Amino acid sequence: MTDRILRPREVCRAIGLSRTTLWRRVRDGQFPKPLRQGPNAVGWRASAIDEWLDSREAA
């Protein structure tokens, strides 16, 4: 089974952050780096987002 790829808008909706805050956290190493899907497209594996959310709940 393949892991679903979430686009930035979907990730923001799932974690409750704005796009600016999302990219700031990626830049600062506080959020997983996205996968490049093409020259103008990026996304995250749904499992990576789930793991990040789980780690935030444990902290």
pLDDT given for residue 24 in this prediction: 98
For the CA atoms of 39, 8, 35, 14, what is the dihedral angle to 10 degrees? -170
49: domain CATH number is: 1.10.1660
pLDDT given for residue 2 in this prediction: 65
Cβ-contact 10, 53 below 8 angstroms: no
Which pLDDT tens digit goes with each residue over 4-55? 999 999 999 999 999 999 999 999 999 999 999 999 999 999 999 999 999 9
Domain count, the chain: 1
- Domain extent at residue 17: 5-58
pLDDT given for residue 40 in this prediction: 93
Q: What is this structure's pTM? A: 0.86
58 confidence band (pLDDT: 50, 70, 90): confident
